[in-house]
């Protein structure tokens, strides 16, 4: 691909991120009166009035503003916005008696769900470590290490390995079924790898590096499909594949079913997840100074599956999910898969030098910039038809927040720069 094309794509990202995407959040999200961030906005960018502040949205926002500041996006206000969120996390959401963070608060700062959720705590580690790396403030790393220690104490399955995810306020494992206490998930293990990578980068402690390597091995040996190298969503305690069911406190089923389990509950994989896994693994190996060649086959399988089956060459963008063997089940376009595939396709090119990955990147980039961005607000539509018409129209809620797309813009900008320089 010509260098001028790559430079134009890079400029498009920079201008949009600085002039549209980050200003959307700068203008809206800080709750001056009650602390923390407002995170629910309708299609016009107006506060929807939803009375909740979730651990996932607060931590992901802290990460976003910290990463932007660390990478030179958004200016000094990114630092103060990150500081504002950390203050809220530690003063309002931290459980001083039992340790860990509450899952859900109301706007006034009162806990409405005191459960301890592994998924949310992975993002607490990730965001607080990134905050310290960005600002130099040691309080982020201090609490990231506290959460790490709590997970080692309460969440590790010392019998079969890996991590449990769903706990009560006092860190008691929840019951079976929708409560989640008898399942292990791809989601939490992938995000723990992500979190331990940044924790080790911030701390330099060998225990964090060792647990990072352990999380990588769990993903490779237990979570990813042995033949196709694709992510399997849910497992029983002994790592046998479990039908994918809806949990009580985790989003993602709004359009799949009223409840119960998916029709393709034992044969479904997300193209966005597979690409995200591969680029996060590459980053983890780099930060941990592990041998990349040891995982070359795993990385390539995940990237090539996303490329071969996930990219929509006709209408642009990336599909939601399909079979491990390749059949596409869901051809709609969701915001976060686009974001993760942008990073993944650039890393895949840097890793393999296969030009097809750059073509895939451009295909997804054009879908995002021509169809997925709502330029009237600056944010992305959450869910679109295959052709690119909005299905859901809100700009943000607890699960559709700034983490995926801002990170995607920052890292895509930098990786395009790396490709331009190398070429």
Q: Residues 41-86: pLDDT tens digits?
A: 999 999 999 999 999 999 999 999 999 999 999 999 999 999 999 9
- CB-CB contact of 48 with 42 (8 Å): yes
For residue 246, what pLDDT is reported?
Answer: 87
Structure tokens at 288: 């941990």
CA distance 165 to 185: 8
As a whole number, the mean pLDDT across the chain is: 95
- Reading the block at residue 65, the tokens are 């503003």
Structure confidence by residue, pLDDT tens digits, 204-251: 999 999 999 999 999 999 999 999 999 999 999 999 999 988 898 875
280-292 mean pLDDT: 98
The CATH architecture annotation of domain 115-214+236-266 reads: Alpha/alpha barrel (1.50)
Q: For residue 312, is pLDDT > 70? A: yes
Give the 3-state secondary structure percentages of the chain, helix then strand then coil, rounded to 5: 55, 10, 35
Q: Report the pLDDT value the prediction gives residue 257, as an integer from 0 to 100.
A: 47
- pTM of the predicted structure, to 2 decimals: 0.97
Instruction: Identify the weakest region by mean pLDDT among 106-120, 148-162, 242-256.
Output: 242-256
**% of the chain surpassing 90 pLDDT:** 94
252 pLDDT higher than 80: no
- Give the tens place of pLDDT for each residue, 317-327: 999 999 999 99
* Confidence at 262, pLDDT banded by 50, 70, 90: low
pLDDT at 415 over 50: yes
Domain boundaries, the chain: 115-214+236-266
Q: What is the DSSP string of 270-325?
A: EHHHHHHHHHHHHHHHHHHT--GGGGHHHHHHHHHHIIIIIB-TTT-SB-SEE-TT
Average pLDDT (325-336) is: 95
Overall average pLDDT of the 117-129 stretch:
98
- Using the predicted structure, report yes or no on whether residue 358 has a pLDDT greater than 50: yes
**At a CB cut-off of 8 Å and minimum separation 6, what does 409 contact?**
13, 16, 17, 21, 73
* pLDDT single digits (tens) 183-199: 999 999 999 999 999 99
Kind plus residue range of the DSSP H or E element containing 185: strand 184-185
CA end-to-end distance (rounded Å), the chain? 10
Task: Please report the pLDDT score of residue 258 as a whole number.
Answer: 47
Task: Compute the half-sphere exposure of residue 378: CA atoms within 13 Å on the CB side of its CA.
Answer: 20
């Amino acid at each position: 691909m010509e260098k001028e094309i790559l430079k134009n794509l890079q400029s498009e990202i920079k201008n949009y991120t600085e002039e549209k995407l980050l200003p959307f959040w700068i203008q809206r999200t800080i709750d001056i009166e009650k602390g923390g961030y407002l995170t629910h906005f309708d299609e016009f960018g107006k506060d929807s009035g939803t009375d909740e502040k979730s651990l996932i949205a607060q931590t992901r926002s802290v990460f976003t503003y910290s990463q932007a500041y660390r990478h030179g996006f958004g200016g000094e206000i990114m630092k103060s916005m990150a500081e504002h969120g950390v203050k809220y996390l530690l003063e309002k959401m931290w459980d001083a008696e039992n340790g860990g963070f509450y899952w859900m608060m109301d706007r006034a700062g009162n806990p409405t769900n005191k459960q301890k959720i592994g998924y949310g705590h992975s993002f607490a580690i990730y965001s607080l470590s990134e905050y310290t790396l960005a600002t130099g403030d040691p309080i982020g790393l201090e609490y990231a290490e506290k959460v790490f220690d709590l997970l080692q104490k309460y969440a590790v399955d010392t019998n079969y390995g890996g991590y449990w995810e769903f706990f009560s306020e006092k860190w008691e494992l929840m019951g079976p079924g929708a409560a989640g206490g008898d399942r292990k998930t791809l989601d939490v293990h992938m995000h723990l790898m992500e979190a331990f990578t940044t924790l080790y980068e911030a701390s330099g402690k060998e225990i964090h590096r060792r647990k990072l390597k352990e999380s990588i091995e769990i993903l490779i040996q237990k979570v990813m499909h042995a033949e196709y190298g694709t992510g399997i969503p849910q497992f029983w305690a002994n790592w046998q594949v479990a039908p994918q069911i809806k949990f009580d406190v985790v989003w993602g089923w709004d359009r799949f079913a009223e409840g119960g389990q998916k029709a393709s509950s034992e044969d479904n994989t997300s193209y966005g997840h597979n690409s995200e896994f591969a680029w996060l693994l590459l980053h983890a190996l780099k930060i941990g100074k592990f041998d990349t060649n040891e995982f070359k086959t795993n990385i390539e399988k995940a990237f090539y599956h996303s490329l071969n089956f996930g990219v929509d060459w006709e209408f642009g963008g990336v599909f939601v999910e399909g079979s491990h063997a390749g059949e596409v089940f869901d051809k709609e376009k969701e915001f976060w898969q686009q974001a993760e595939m942008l990073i993944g396709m650039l890393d895949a090119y840097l890793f393999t030098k296969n030009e097809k990955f750059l073509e895939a990147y451009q295909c997804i980039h054009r879908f995002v910039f021509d169809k997925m961005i709502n330029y009237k607000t600056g944010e992305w539509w959450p869910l679109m038809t295959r052709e690119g018409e909005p299905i859901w129209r809100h700009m943000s809620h607890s699960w559709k927040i700034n983490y995926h797309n801002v990170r995607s813009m920052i890292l895509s900008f930098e990786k395009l720069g790396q490709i331009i320089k190398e070429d």
